[in-house]
C-alpha cells in the first residue's frame, strides 16, 4: 500500500504578491553566500532577455495557466497564521546496475530495495519537496543495467515511498529502450503520481505533452516553485525523434523559464543534466551554460550526470543578482566503485517565511553521502550520511570500505571546497 504522501496543493498562478515574491527570491540569492544579503528581485519585464552574446526575444506562453496546472485553486492569503519554513532537498543520480538487480531479486523474482536509502529516508520524507534524478527506464522485463538501463517498477515505487516528490527524467538514459520503453516509463510515472503524489518532469511523448510539466510548477503553502529539467542529449540518439525529451536548447529553456515567471513562480530552479563524467571540476561549457541560465531567470542551478561531486559557485548577473550553482551532486546510489563515484551530496535549501509570506535569510547546506556496496556495511546496497558513520568503524563489515569512505570524503572536500 502506498505510504501517506506529502501534498503540494497548487495555488492560482496569476499575479504574484510582489513583496512575497521578491523576498523569497532575494533569500535564495543570499543563500549562495555565507552572508545574509537582500538582493534585487527579478525584473518584471518578460520581453527581450540578455542571452550572453546577444538577445533572444521573449517567447509568449503557448498554453494558458489552467492547462498547465490542471485546476485553478484559491490564491495564497495575504497573511499566514504562523511563521513557516519551506525545506527543499536534492539528491543526485539514482542508478540501477546489473549487480543491483541481481542482488535485490529473490527466488520468486520479486525485488527488495528496502535498505537502499536507510540513511536518508527520514530526510527525504520530512522535506517539503525532495528531488532526485532517475537514471533508468521502466520499460518492463527483461531488466538490465549498463549501458541500457531498465529497472523494475518496484524500484521507482520504493523511491516514491521514501518521500521523493519530484522525479527528474531528462537524462541521457531516458530513451535507452526506445519508443516502447518511453511509453511504458511515462505510464508508470503517471500511476505513481496517482498513488504516491510524486511528480515527474523532463520527458514526454511529444512537445505538447512536455509543456504540461515544463516547467513543473509546485506550490508549498503558497510559495510557488518552478523546476526546469533538461539534458545535453540521450545515448540512444532519439532525442530529436521524440521532442518531448527536454534537451539543452536555449529557446526551449528560455520559454520554460519565462512561462514560470508569467505564472507567478517565486523561485525558478534549473536542473541541467550536463558536464564531463568523472571530473570533479566543472567544465567551461557548464559554466557558460550556468551563466546563461542565471542571466535569463534561474535562481538556483543544481546539476547531475558526472557521477561524482563537483565544485559549487555563485554567479553574479548583469542585474546584480547572485545565483548559486551546484555543478554536480554525484551519485545517490549505484554499483559504481571507481574513484569518487561512491560519494555524493544531499543539498538542502531552507526558506523561512514570516506571517506575511515574506522570506527571511536562508542558507543552503550540504550533507555528504556514501553509497556502500553489498557486504561492506549492510547486506544490500545502502546510502548513508558520511558523518553518521565516521565514528562507527566497528559497524563496517569490511574495514577497507570504511577507509575508502574516509579518504574519499577528505579528498573531495579539499578538491571542491564544499563543507558539510
Model pLDDT for residues 362-408, shown as the tens digit of each residue: 568 999 999 999 999 999 999 999 999 999 999 999 999 999 999 99
- DSSP SS3 for 394: helix
Q: Per mean pLDDT, which range of 96-100, 221-225, 258-262 is the poorest?
A: 221-225
Taking 90 as the threshold, does the pLDDT of residue 68 lie above it? no
**Helix (H) or strand (E) run with residue 314 in it:** strand 312-316
For the cut 90, the answer to whether the pLDDT of residue 351 exceeds it is: no
Whether pTM exceeds 0.85:
no
pLDDT-derived band of residue 37, with 50, 70 and 90 as boundaries? very low
Looking at the predicted structure, is the pLDDT value of residue 2 above 60? no
Round to whole Å and give the CA distance between 237 and 241: 8
pLDDT for 322 equals 86
- Mean pLDDT of the residues in the chain: 83
User: What confidence tier does 7 reach under pLDDT thresholds 50, 70, 90?
Assistant: low
Higher local confidence (pLDDT), 190 or 23: 190
237/167: higher pLDDT: 167
Residue 183 contacts residue 242 (beta carbons within 8 Å): no
Residue 419's CB: how many other CB atoms inside 10 A? 9
Task: Give pLDDT, residue 355.
Answer: 72
Residues in the chain: 420
Helices (H), 244-339: 250-262, 284-295
How confident is the model at residue 222, as a pLDDT? 82
Span 188-209, pLDDT tens digits: 999 999 999 999 999 998 767 6
DSSP state of 4: P
pLDDT band at 213 (very low <50, low <70, confident <90, very high): confident
DSSP letter string, 244-261: TS-BS-HHHHHHHHHHHH
Q: Buried b / exposed e across 19-39, counting CB within 10 Å, b at 16+?
A: ebbbbbbbbbbbbbeeeeeeb
Query: Closest Cα partner for 201 from 218, 180, 176?
Result: 218
DSSP at 409 = H
Residue 35 has pLDDT above 90, yes or no: no
* pLDDT over 50 at 14, yes or no: no
Q: What is the mean pLDDT of residues 313-341?
A: 95
For the segment 345-374, the average pLDDT, to the nearest whole number, is 81
Q: What is the mean pLDDT of residues 45-61?
A: 32
Does residue 300 surpass a pLDDT of 90? yes
* Number of CB atoms found within 10 A of residue 242's CB: 20
3-state class (DSSP) for residue 216: strand
CATH class for the region spanning 18-41+66-370: alpha beta
What's the pLDDT score for residue 285? 98
Where is average pLDDT lowest: 55-69, 182-196, 204-218?
Answer: 55-69
What are the grid coordinates assigned to 338, written together?
Answer: 571507481
Confidence of residue 28 (pLDDT cuts 50, 70, 90): very low
- Top mean pLDDT of 15-19, 208-212, 338-342 is at 338-342
Decide if pLDDT at 327 tops 80: yes
Whole-number Å distance between alpha carbons of 194 and 341: 34
Q: Three-state SS for 292?
A: helix
CA distance 155 to 137: 11
In which residue are the cell numbers 529497472 written? Answer: 151
Tell me what percent of the chain is helix, strand and coil, each rounded to the nearest 5: 25, 25, 50
- pLDDT for 84 equals 83
> What pLDDT, on the 0 to 100 scale, is given for residue 244?
79
For the chain, the structural domain boundaries read: 18-41+66-370
C-alpha cell at 341: 563515484
d(CA 42, CA 104): 48
Residue 243 has pLDDT above 50, yes or no: yes
Confidence bin at 79 (pLDDT 50/70/90):
low
Stretch 22-49: mean pLDDT, rounded? 38
Amino acid at each position: 500500500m502506498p505510504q501517506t504522501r506529502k501534498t503540494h496543493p497548487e495555488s492560482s498562478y496569476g499575479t504574484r504578491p510582489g513583496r512575497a515574491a521578491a523576498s523569497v527570491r532575494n533569500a535564495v540569492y543570499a543563500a549562495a553566500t555565507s552572508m545574509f544579503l537582500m538582493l534585487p528581485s527579478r525584473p518584471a519585464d518578460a520581453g527581450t532577455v540578455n542571452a550572453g552574446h546577444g538577445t533572444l526575444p521573449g517567447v509568449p506562453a503557448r498554453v494558458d495557466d489552467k492547462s498547465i496546472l490542471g485546476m485553478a485553486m484559491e490564491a495564497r492569503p495575504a497573511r499566514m497564521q504562523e511563521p513557516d519554513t519551506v525545506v527543499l532537498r536534492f539528491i543526485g543520480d539514482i542508478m540501477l546496475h546489473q549487480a543491483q538487480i541481481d542482488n535485490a531479486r529473490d527466488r520468486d523474482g520479486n525485488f527488495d530495495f528496502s535498505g537502499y536509502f536507510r540513511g536518508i529516508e527520514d530526510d527525504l520524507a520530512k522535506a517539503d519537496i525532495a528531488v532526485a534524478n532517475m537514471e533508468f527506464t521502466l520499460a518492463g522485463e527483461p531488466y538490465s543495467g549498463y549501458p541500457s538501463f531498465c529497472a523494475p517498477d518496484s524500484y521507482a515505487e520504493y523511491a516514491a515511498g521514501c518521500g521523493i516528490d519530484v522525479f527528474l527524467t531528462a537524462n541521457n538514459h531516458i530513451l535507452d529502450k526506445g519508443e516502447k520503453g518511453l511509453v511504458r516509463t511515462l505510464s508508470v510515472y503517471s500511476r505513481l503520481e496517482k498513488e504516491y503524489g510524486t511528480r515527474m518532469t523532463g520527458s514526454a511523448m511529444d512537445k505538447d505533452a512536455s509543456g504540461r510539466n515544463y516547467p513543473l510548477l509546485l506550490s508549498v503553502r503558497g510559495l510557488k516553485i518552478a523546476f526546469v529539467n533538461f539534458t545535453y542529449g540521450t545515448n540512444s540518439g532519439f532525442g530529436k525523434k521524440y521532442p518531448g525529451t527536454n534537451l539543452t536548447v536555449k529557446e526551449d529553456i528560455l520559454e520554460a523559464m519565462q512561462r514560470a515567471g508569467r505564472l507567478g513562480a517565486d523561485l525558478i530552479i534549473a536542473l541541467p543534466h550536463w558536464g564531463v563524467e568523472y571530473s570533479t571540476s566543472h567544465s567551461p561549457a557548464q559554466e557558460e551554460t550556468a551563466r546563461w541560465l542565471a542571466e535569463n531567470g534561474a535562481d538556483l542551478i543544481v546539476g547531475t550526470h558526472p557521477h561524482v561531486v563537483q565544485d559549487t559557485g555563485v554567479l553574479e548577473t548583469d542585474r546584480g543578482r547572485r545565483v548559486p550553482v551546484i555543478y554536480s551532486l554525484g551519485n545517490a546510489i549505484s554499483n559504481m566503485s571507481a574513484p569518487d563515484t561512491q560519494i555524493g551530496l544531499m543539498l538542502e535549501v531552507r526558506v523561512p517565511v514570516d506571517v506575511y509570506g515574506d522570506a527571511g535569510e536562508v542558507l543552503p547546506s550540504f550533507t555528504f553521502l556514501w553509497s556502500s556496496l553489498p557486504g561492506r556495511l549492510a547486506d544490500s546496497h545502502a546510502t548513508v550520511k558520511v558523518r553518521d558513520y565516521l565514528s562507527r568503524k566497528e559497524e563496517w563489515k569490511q574495514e577497507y570500505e570504511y577507509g575508502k569512505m574516509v579518504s574519499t570524503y577528505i579528498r573531495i572536500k579539499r578538491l571542491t571546497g564544499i563543507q558539510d
